[in-house]
Amino acid sequence: TGSKSELKFEPLPKDDPKQRCPDITRARNWLGWEPRVPLNVGLAKTVEYYQQLLAQQTTPVGGRKVLVDKRDLPPT
């Protein structure tokens, strides 16, 4: 991406699962909740949202938008 950010890799905690497997059973049983957006649609909308933020050169931080350093943006 051309980012100047420093990456820092840390070992995973011993109890950290290697793969997540979200389970909505409790929400379904206790709240009667069911997802209304299919996973592929939700992911596509999420990607589109962040692409729009990059295009605007802003990013959400703590409920507000801040300018992004142009050096961290992908080339256009």
Residue 13 lies in a domain: no
Among 75, 56, 69, residue whose Cα is nearest residue 4? 69
**Residue 50 vs residues 33, 43, 73: alpha-carbon distances, Å:** 27, 11, 12
Question: How confident is the model at residue 14, as a pLDDT?
Answer: 85
Residue 65 lies in a domain: yes
Residue 47 lies in a domain: yes
pLDDT of 58 strictly over 60: no
Residue 1 lies in a domain: no
Question: How confident is the model at residue 49, as a pLDDT?
Answer: 87
Structural domains in the chain (count):
1
Q: What is the pTM of this model?
A: 0.43
Residue 36 lies in a domain: yes
Residue 61 lies in a domain: yes
Question: How confident is the model at residue 25, as a pLDDT?
Answer: 94
Question: How confident is the model at residue 44, as a pLDDT?
Answer: 93
Structural domain that includes position 39: 25-72
Q: What is the pLDDT of residues 7-51, one digit of tens each?
A: 888 888 888 887 778 899 999 999 999 999 999 999 999 998 888
Residue 17 lies in a domain: no
